[in-house]
Chain A
């Protein structure tokens, strides 16, 4: 059974710092991996989607990498801003057409 783990559970950084969020999954035979942002009491905003054949994806200050063989993904946030404060969720799709399996998330707080 696929399990997704995110470390750390919480992170506090000053504005401007570069940071890395980690995600690991137990079954490396995945279809894709997605990073989401969730604000308190709100739904999910998709940040980056990495297909199993890809190594990384970039969007603005965000860069996500995928190492299937080791079961790891990282989300890199450059020059963090207070507006980046949110919970970041990593989710794995095992097969096409199936639901995503989520980690518990990393709650990020960026202070000005």
Chain B
């Protein structure tokens, strides 16, 4: 099946710093990528939809200036958590569709962010 690579898998940073998470589709082109966040014992919550070459669409309640998403190519989307704070500590995971209909979505392995 299709592979989505996500890095880093784990990051610990100080409060106030910025953290970049990369999501790559290794063997297919992904027109659309999705970014989710998961707090402990909670469901995956959609943060934003990332479309190649255009601005991301953010879900209600997600600060677009804090969570910067760039989808500059068909195989790479990045999520930057700017000026991270302890409440941003969470599990972030991306997904990508293999076709325009996104019949099946493939997921990265996730990034555990801990902000001290």
Q: Which chain A residues have a beta carbon within 8 Å of chain B's beta carbons?
A: 4, 32, 34, 36, 41-44, 46, 49, 51, 89, 91, 93, 96-105
Contacts and interface: CB of A to CB of B under 8 A. Distances in A.
B42 A104 contact: yes
Given A41-B112, A49-B104, A104 B93 contact: no
Contacts of B36: 99, 102
Contacts, number: 61
Nearest to B107: A44
Given A96-B101, A104-B43, A46 B91 contact: no
Could you tell me the dominant secondary structure of chain B's interface residues? Answer: strand
Given A97-B100, A98-B102, A103 B43 contact: yes
Interface residues of B, number: 28
Contact of B105 (A4, A41, A100): A100
Contact of A42 (B32, B105, B110): B110
Given A102-B43, A103-B43, A96 B103 contact: yes
Given A41-B91, A46-B104, A97-B102, A102 B44 contact: yes
Contact of A44 (B49, B93, B100): B93
